[in-house]
Homo-oligomer: A and B are copies of this chain.
Amino acid sequence: MSTTPTTLIVGTGLVGTSVGLALQRAGVDVHLEDLDPLHAQAAESLGAGTTRAPRSNQELGLVVVAVPPRHVGPAVCEALATWPEAVVTDVGSVKVPALLAARERGIDLSRYVGSHPMAGSERSGPWAASADLFDGRAWAVTPHEGSAAEAVQVVRRLATDCGASVVQLSPVEHDAAVARVSHLPHLMSVLAAGALVGAPPQQLALAGQGLRDVTRVAAGDPGLWSEIVTANAEQVRLLLTDVRDRVDELLAGVQDTPEALAVALRRGVAGTRLVPGKHGAPTPDYTVVYVALPDRPGELARLFADAGESGVNIEDLRIDHDPARPVGLVEVVVAQRSAATLVGSLTDRGWSVNQ
């Protein structure tokens, strides 16, 4: 099908402005609107589109509602009423409540198709936006039973024009999915991080990369996350109820039944194998090569220049900082079959390497 039609973006925060930038990059005409005219002007000055209103109903093919979660339902209805020729989508993190709110109005929703780009930032506002925000990310497209097939196509095209990969699910499936892969993990991270509050400082001196990984997402904006989790209360409650039972199992296992503990731990291992690897393929056999890294500018450059010489494709990496000395440890993830090549190549070039 053709490219995304001329689009109005309602709400020029981080996500709305980024959609504008990405669409402009794809050659789409974009109009911008925000309750706060300064935000809309900022988005315009960044190149996300024009704050001039569309000339006519016919000119506009798509409205993207990018307002805070609790305002999505009413804003979708308003867009459907104001632009009777346009497809309307939103980019909210939870899909069912907005759909139900819109249905309560009793209006025709065939031109409405929800969506949710799986991208964001710890920052907010149009100034934090980027044309690249969605590149390579998943973008959920969530038609309801009454969505017109052509409307679904328009929203799918919006996602791909923004550089994302479409994952199509029903609104209920979407909310169940994000409860499981995003909201519950967020809450588990919050529990692990929350348990650090009030700890004697000496205990934290033993913290390592594992703790940093588990607790990282818990730093997210509590106001926004409260709104998201509350909006998805039903799905989150189902999973949390199960978690409560599993905490009881762990408690019993720790005290009396090591085998029950082992079962829970093996279940966790099985879960990690389900987390998609690269390019949607099953996780291949990766291994980690450890490299000691002096903590000064340019050492990473030198390391990766040397690693590049080996011709090995680096799949992932992380830097684990020494809490007390000017040296870091880089964990380089490579395919099992490439590890020996990388180790040999880096060792030859004088790096302290350990597989």
Q: Which residues of A contact B (CB under 8 A)?
A: 118, 121-123, 128, 130-133, 135-138, 140, 165, 167, 169, 173-174, 176-178, 180-182, 184-197, 199-200, 202-208, 210-220, 222-223, 225-226, 229-230, 233, 236-237, 239-244, 246-248, 250-251, 254-255, 258, 261-262, 264-280, 288, 290, 292, 295-298, 300-309, 311-319, 321-329, 352, 354-355
Other-chain contact of A180, B136, B196, B213, B313 (Cβ < 8 Å)? B196
- Whether B226 pairs with A261 at a CB distance below 8 angstroms is yes
- Whether A185 pairs with B173 at a CB distance below 8 angstroms is no
Other-chain contact of A236, B180, B213, B254, B304 (Cβ < 8 Å)? B254
Taking the closest CB of chain B, its distance from the CB of A201, in whole angstroms, is: 8
Taking the closest CB of chain B, its distance from the CB of A135, in whole angstroms, is: 6
- Besides A190-B264, A190-B265, A300-B307, 6 more A-B contacts (Cβ < 8 Å) are A133-B354, A135-B322, A177-B200, A177-B205, A189-B214, A301-B304
- Whether A181 pairs with B207 at a CB distance below 8 angstroms is yes
Q: Can you spell out 9 A-B residue pairs with CB atoms less than 8 angstroms apart?
A: A165-B324, A181-B211, A191-B246, A193-B267, A196-B274, A295-B313, A300-B304, A301-B305, A316-B321
Q: Which of A217, A220, A242, A296 has the most CB of B within 10 A?
A: A217
- Whether B196 pairs with A278 at a CB distance below 8 angstroms is no
- Whether A267 pairs with B206 at a CB distance below 8 angstroms is no
Taking the closest CB of chain B, its distance from the CB of A69, in whole angstroms, is: 12
Known A211-B181, A304-B305, A328-B136; contact A279-B323, beta-carbon cutoff 8 A:
yes
Taking the closest CB of chain B, its distance from the CB of A176, in whole angstroms, is: 6
- Name A219's closest neighbour in chain B (CB-CB): B272
Other-chain contact of A297, B200, B311, B325 (Cβ < 8 Å)? B311
CB-CB < 8 A to A140: which residues of B?
Answer: 206
A interface majority secondary structure: helix
- The 4 A-B pairs at the shortest CB distance, nearest first, are namely A301-B308, A136-B322, A193-B271, A190-B268
CB-CB < 8 A to A118: which residues of B?
Answer: 206, 208
CB-CB < 8 A to A121: which residues of B?
Answer: 288
Other-chain contact of A258, B136, B230, B266, B323 (Cβ < 8 Å)? B230
- Whether B208 pairs with A182 at a CB distance below 8 angstroms is yes
Other-chain contact of A177, B202, B298, B352 (Cβ < 8 Å)? B202
- Whether B195 pairs with A271 at a CB distance below 8 angstroms is yes
- Whether A261 pairs with B208 at a CB distance below 8 angstroms is no
Q: Which of A122, A184, A308 has the most CB of B within 10 A?
A: A308
Other-chain contact of A195, B242, B278, B301 (Cβ < 8 Å)? B242
Complex: A140 Cα to B290 Cα, angstroms = 22
Taking the closest CB of chain B, its distance from the CB of A157, in whole angstroms, is: 16
- Whether B323 pairs with A300 at a CB distance below 8 angstroms is no
- Name A270's closest neighbour in chain B (CB-CB): B197
